[in-house]
Amino acid sequence: MKTLVWVEHDGSAVKDATLAAVTAASKLGEVHLLVAGEGVDGVAQAAAQISGVGKVHVADSAAFGHALPENIAPMIAELMASHDAFVAPATTTGKNIAPRVAALLDVMQVSDILSVEGPKTFTRPIYAGNAIATVESSDAKLVLTVRGTAFEKAATSGGSGAVEAVSAGGDTGISSFVGAEIAKSERPELTSAKVIVSGGRALGSSEKYEEVIVPLADKLGAALGASRAAVDAGYVPNDYQVGQTGKIVAPEVYFAIGISGAIQHLAGMKDSKTIVAINKDEDAPIFQVADLGLVADLFNAVPELTGKI
């Protein structure tokens, strides 16, 4: 089987989510990559180094600059004439583009796969991860999105893929990019961080989040996260949100501070290797999944922890 993997990038570097998708695709067969964008030579060169990669298709055009699905999906559908599976990481970009490709191919997409069980058989979460379905596609071609935390990351070196240009399609003119507000920070990204410190509603304010959560994250070189309750209450921006409706993470260590552990939050972090919970309510559901639990007032315990660790 010949797969075509969507390379998620920021214009200069390949993003980690791509590497998990490459691993998933390699379980199906030959791995080809698609780098689409404007001025993406550097990304294509880096992508060609990914371990196990065959060909790297490069679609370089102003029309592909902001990954507008209206322009990109028809180009992918055309490339799929010579591939058997389109595999995209389940990022907001992948989730935006892949179903559009699937419909153009008259294929029912399999979303957010957790494992590859056979050439057309996969597992995937349903009901916010409260159930796991094993599904089998009957379509001639596959369109898949891949949950990044469920697969190992492919090595970023050792490969020697041949780079090949794709004749670029035009701009459909029905959509245009206006602008973006992407938070820039020195911190590791939530979805690739080794340690994450997350705060919940119990913090009570954005000032307390800054005062209690941020210093611990600084000390551990951790990414910052939050529960949906804390985001909805306005303590932190919405891209901090960990959960079924936010980011799905699986760091080495996840600190859940003042987070009760709603199902929707657990769905986003329960694959973390070690979960540490600090909460003053000893009956909080978060303690049912925590490896290390401390029943304490976070306003005392967290500064003390920051001082001693």
Partner 1 sequence: MKILVPVKRVLDYNVKPRVKADGTGVDLANVKMSMNPFDEIAVEEAIRLKEKGAASEIVAVSIGPAKAQETLRTALAMGADRAILVQTDDAVEPLAVAKILKAIADAEAPGLVILGKQAIDDDNNQTGQMLAALTGWAQGTFASKVDVEGDSVSVTREVDGGLETVKLKTPAVVTTDLRLNEPRYASLPNIMKAKSKPLETKSPTDYGVDTAPRVKVLKVAEPPVRQAGIKVADVDELVAKLKAMGVHS
Q: Which residues, numbered 100-159, are part of the site for partner 1 (CB under 8 A)?
A: 100-104, 106-112, 121, 125-139
Q: Using the rule CB under 8 A, which residue among 29, 169, 289, 299 binds partner 1?
A: 289
Judged by beta carbon, residue 144 or residue 166, the one nearer partner 1 is: 144
Please state, in angstroms and rounded to a whole number, the distance separating the CA atoms of residues 9 and 16. 9
Burial 224-234 (b: 16+ CB within 10 A, else e): bbbbbbbbebe
CB of 55 to partner 1, least distance (A): 25
3-class secondary structure, 212: helix
Q: Which two tokens stand for residue 170?
A: 């035009």
Give the three-class secondary structure for 139. coil
Least distance (Å) from partner 1 to the CB of residue 123? 9
Q: Is 81 among the residues that bind partner 1 (CB under 8 A)?
A: no
Restricting to residues 172-201, name those near partner 1 by CB under 8 A.
Answer: 172-183, 189, 191, 195
Establish if 160 lies at the interface with partner 1 (CB under 8 A): no
What is the torsional sign of CA 83, 84, 88, 94? positive
133/276 Cα distance (integer angstroms):
29
Q: How far apart are CA 204 and CA 201, in angstroms?
A: 6
Of 171, 239, 250, 299, the residue at the interface with partner 1 (CB under 8 A) is 239
**Whole-number minimum distance, CB 203 to partner 1, in Å?**
18
The interface with partner 1 within residues 258-287 (CB under 8 A) comprises 263, 270, 274-276, 282, 287
